[in-house]
């Protein structure tokens, strides 16, 4: 269906529960949903759409381990190896005194690493305006479902009807 590529059917809902209930219904009816856009997070929406669980937590853990290692290496090397000094009669390498900075750097690396991962994985960045804007009201009060017609084998009329039946108040066609 070459003539349908880049063409989207956009269902506009005015209620988060309606759109959340509509998703499994439409998927059952065989409609392939590209994405749902909402002004606030709808709990359970990513599972309903069949998105895999985010793995950003694993990345965060890795960044945390990195931060912890960097902090300990820095302190043990500078205080114990590069220029050893006895301070307060203690061993040059005194791990208990290093705990606060180790903690702080672990948090710092985790937070920044995770947020940078978040930006990259969502394609967010300054000057990014590349996302298709299906309906500008999706950041205000509407819940917008986008269906890529190029990837669906059902006819436009069938999908529109299914959208309306599931509670969409408007169904528009967007061409990019």
Partner 1 sequence: MHVTSPVREPLIQGGKTYADVTEDICRHVEGAPTKEWKIAFGISLLVLAYGTVCLAWTWWEGLGVWGLNKTVGWAWDITNFVWWVGIGHAGTLISAILLLFRQKWRTSINRAAEAMTIFAVICAASFILMHMGRPWMAYWALPLPNAFGSLWVNFNSPLVWDVFAISTYFSVSLVFWYIGLIPDLATIRDRATSKVSRFMYGTFAMGWDGSAKTWARYEYISLILAGLSTPLVLSVHTIVSMDFATSVIPGWHTTIFPPYFVAGAIFSGFAMVQNLMLITRVVYKLEDYITLEHIETMNKVITLTGSVVGVAYITEFFIAWYGGVEYEYYAFFNRMTGPYWWAYWAMMTCNVISPQLFWSRKLRRSITFTFFISIVVNIGMWFERFVIIVTSLHRDYIPSSWAMFSPTRYDIGDYIFSFGLFFTLFLLFSKYLPVVNMAEVKAVLRSTSAQLPAKIAGVAKVRQRGTAEPAFDKDKE
DSSP 36-49: EE-SS--TTHHHHT
CB closer to partner 1 out of 48 and 171: 48
* Coil, strand or helix at 92: coil
CB closer to partner 1 out of 52 and 157: 52
The candidate with the shortest Cα–Cα distance to 71, out of 110, 104, 93, is 104
* Residue 42 near residue 16, CB atoms below 8 Å: yes
Pick one of 6, 65, 104, 155: the residue that binds partner 1 (CB under 8 A).
104
Pick one of 1, 5, 30, 112: the residue that binds partner 1 (CB under 8 A).
112
**Could you give the angle at which helices 56-76 and 95-122 cross, rounded to 10 degrees?**
150
Show the beta-strand stretches assigned E in the chain: 7-13, 35-37, 143-148, 170-175
The reply on whether position 120 binds partner 1 by CB under 8 A is no
Binding mask of the shown chain, residues 59 to 98, with x at each position contacting partner 1 by CB under 8 A: -x-------------xx--xx--xx-x-xx-x---x--xx
The reply on whether position 157 binds partner 1 by CB under 8 A is no
The reply on whether position 155 binds partner 1 by CB under 8 A is no
The reply on whether position 26 binds partner 1 by CB under 8 A is no
Q: What is the DSSP letter of 29?
A: T
Q: Which sign does the torsion angle of CA 14, 15, 18, 22 carry?
A: positive
Q: What is the DSSP letter of 12?
A: E
The reply on whether position 35 binds partner 1 by CB under 8 A is yes
Q: Which one of the spans 14-22, 24-32, 147-155, 158-166 is the region binding partner 1 (CB under 8 A)?
A: 14-22
Q: Tell how strand 7-13 and strand 143-148 pair up.
A: antiparallel
The reply on whether position 39 binds partner 1 by CB under 8 A is yes
Where along the sequence are the contacts to partner 1 (CB under 8 A)? 14-18, 35-42, 45-46, 49, 51, 54, 56-57, 60, 74-75, 78-79, 82-83, 85, 87-88, 90, 94, 97-98, 100-101, 103-105, 107-108, 110-112, 114-115, 118-119, 121-131, 133, 136-141
């Amino acid at each position: 269906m070459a003539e349908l590529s880049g063409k989207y059917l956009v269902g506009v809902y005015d209620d988060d529960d309606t759109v959340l209930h509509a998703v499994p219904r439409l998927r059952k009816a065989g409609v392939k949903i590209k994405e749902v856009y909402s002004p606030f997070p709808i709990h359970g929406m990513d599972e309903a759409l069949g998105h895999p669980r985010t793995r950003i937590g694993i990345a965060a853990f890795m960044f945390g381990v990195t931060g912890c290692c960097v902090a300990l290496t820095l302190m043990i090397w500078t205080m114990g190896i590069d220029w050893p000094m006895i301070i307060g009669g203690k061993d040059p390498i005194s791990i208990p005194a290093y705990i606060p900075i180790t903690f702080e750097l672990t948090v710092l690396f985790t937070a920044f690493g995770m947020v940078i991962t978040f930006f990259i994985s969502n394609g967010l960045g300054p000057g990014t305006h590349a996302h298709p804007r299906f309906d500008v009201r999706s950041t205000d009060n509407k819940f917008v479902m986008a269906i890529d017609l190029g990837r669906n084998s059902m006819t436009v009329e069938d999908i529109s009807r299914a959208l309306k039946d599931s509670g969409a108040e408007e169904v528009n066609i967007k061409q990019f």
